[in-house]
Amino acid sequence: MPDELLHLPVIHSILSRQKDAPGALLPILHAIQNAIGFIPDDAVPDIAHALNLSLAEVRGVISFYHDFRTTPPARHTLRLCRAESCQSRGSEALAAQLREQLALDDHGTSADGAISLRPVYCLGACACSPALELDGQVHARLTPERLRALVNGCLEDAAC
Ligand code: FES
């Protein structure tokens, strides 16, 4: 059975539970992403039909919010803090290092599905800036060398 068909019962269950709530689109999109890891494009017609919206309206909301993914998540997600305290301690240079090392933009996912980059605006670790979150774990007092080692660990892990 194609992967997209495996998701349909989950998506239909979410739609039937939440479609009548006021402002249902965003909660439905979050619920789908939480349940299956991303919002498949194949789900857009069902979402649009359930909410009486156009395909363009649903796709517009999905593309407006960077946290929504339309492809399966990478094995590792690295969220580099770009807020003020981290900026003042070098996070922009670290972001440039990430872009160069991985040949990705700030919201990119590597072609092999090893790692996704996402900016974040404060992880609550300002006293230990600059900081990032890798797969839910915060790493602070980053240096270029520590960042490179963390990324290399993700890439090696993905190669196994
Ligand atoms: S500004 Fe980066 S952790 Fe707060």
Percent of the chain with pLDDT over 70: 95
Pairwise CA distance, residues 52 & 19, whole Å: 10
Given a cut of 90, whether residue 158 has pLDDT beyond it is no
Sequence spans of domains, the chain? 3-64, 76-159
pLDDT at 45 over 60: yes
Q: What is the chain's mean pLDDT, rounded? A: 92
- Out of 25-34, 68-77, 137-146, pick the least confident: 68-77
Q: Where residue 69 falls among pLDDT bands split at 50, 70, 90?
A: confident
Predicted local distance difference test score (pLDDT) of residue 160: 47
State in Å, rounded, how far the first CA of the chain is from the last one. Answer: 27
Residue 147 pLDDT exceeds 70 = yes
Q: What is the pLDDT at residue 107?
A: 87
**Topology annotation, domain 76-159:** Glutaredoxin (3.40.30)
Tell how far the Cα of 124 is from the centroid of ligand 1, in angstroms: 6
- Give dist(CA 1, CA 20) in Å, integer: 30
| Percent of the chain with pLDDT strictly greater than 90 | 81
89 C-alpha to ligand 1 centroid (Å): 10
User: Which of 82, 89, 123 for a ligand 1 pocket mutation test, highest count of atoms within 8 Å of Cβ?
Assistant: 123
pLDDT (tens digit per residue) in 19-36:
999 999 999 999 999 999
Cα of 120 vs centre of ligand 1, distance in Å, is: 9
Give distance in angstroms: CA of 24 to centre of ligand 1: 32
Q: What is the pTM of this model?
A: 0.73
Atom number, ligand 1, closest to the C-alpha of residue 86: 2
How remote is the CA of residue 81 from the centroid of ligand 1, in Å? 6
pLDDT over 80 (residue 91): yes
Residues 6 or more apart whose CB falls under 8 angstroms from that of 107 comprise: 66, 117, 118, 119
User: Which among 79, 80, 82, 86 is the best mutation to test ligand 1's pocket, defined by most ligand atoms within 8 Å of the CB?
Assistant: 86
pLDDT on residue 2? 54
Q: Are 51 and 24 within 8 A, CB to CB?
A: yes
The verdict on the CB of residue 43 being under 6 Å from ligand 1 is no
Q: What's the Cα-to-Cα distance from 95 to each of 25, 139, 150, 154, rounded to whole Å?
A: 32, 15, 14, 16
Question: Ligand 1: does its nearest atom lie under 6 Å from the Cβ of 80?
Answer: no
Q: In the prediction, which pLDDT does 87 show?
A: 97
pLDDT at 95 over 80: yes
